[in-house]
Structure 1
């Protein structure tokens, strides 16, 4: 959001002292699960003329608590792209995730396929076994395979995820659903 607003100087107040020290390269990152996240934040830092990180303990940060409470009350939109069967038995995002984790390509990958995988990985973030796609507003969308996507759509249409509504309203709401699968 700060980049969209052409902000040149940014003050980041966070309650994770560890993460702030990692991003500022003051401490080494020993947890491989957060390495991609730290690298991504460091990459974003380069887009600002000046960026300052300040640690505020969670107990002293009433603003962060208030924002977290408000955020939890807002229903986030869900997004869905076309989900197809996976003929090879692997999820659609397998090559992207493999490249993020190991830096390797599929054995039969052409030059163009490798280039495409590298380009796509810029928009993805792995956290443990879960792969997320970053949106332009830096939200993270969870990637799911065809099987999980079908289950999620079934639950949504059955009303498990909230009150069931009439067909027209449900259709409108479903059109905003994106499950990266």
Structure 2
């Protein structure tokens, strides 16, 4: 799937192209009749493509897009700071789970010619296959509103987020509101404000287990590069016991333990004694060389 979105001060445009391995092409174009930013339009295009693929029964999907922001946030290499994009990222994460295999990669805009051409219905362009089906539609509401009921998250009675939601949704006591100042409701979802203005989506008990397993399984052999806890943060997830749960997962994983042992042994072998400069000064009177100005 390839996607592209653009916007003006009053509206936006969405283009999606789905390629089948048998050279079949489905191209969709939507005119968005509501104000949106460029980033919002890119997410509108991305979610429209995912919804279309799921509706067609696609279970294995590779996505190619020229929006660096959408691609990086989907991969978890970029944090979310814009509240207006929070509902889009949350919906994207729910939809991506529906595919058996899913991957996404960034491509330069110059290689997205077909999708760019759909903005003005430029049909004089070479594309894969022998033909293309192009539909142009108007949409007066966001893709989030269209998909909200279909991908609505079920709430359980023991969900830790429920008491916080209740306080934020009504005029509660000032003391309670002050204690929850780092939480916010965005598009009906609960988020926690992290240092640096990052918004992390608060997830419930069922999703916690899925996300822990999903990200651990993907990154288990490379946990030395970036910790599992940090990967969950970058993916935009939060729950109160996240640090404790991550430690338990890694303690039970033999691969994580083996990696940690190797790193510890390597560090002990190659690192010099941090006390050496001090002992040299005390025993031999050797001072560090002055740095040149």
- Calculate the TM-score normalised by the size of structure 1: 0.40
* Bigger relative contact order, structure 1 or 2 (CA pairs below 8 A, ≥6 apart): 1
> In proportion to residue count, which structure has more helix?
2
- Calculate the TM-score normalised by the size of structure 2: 0.26
Bigger-Rg structure (1/2) = 2
> In proportion to residue count, which structure has more strand?
2
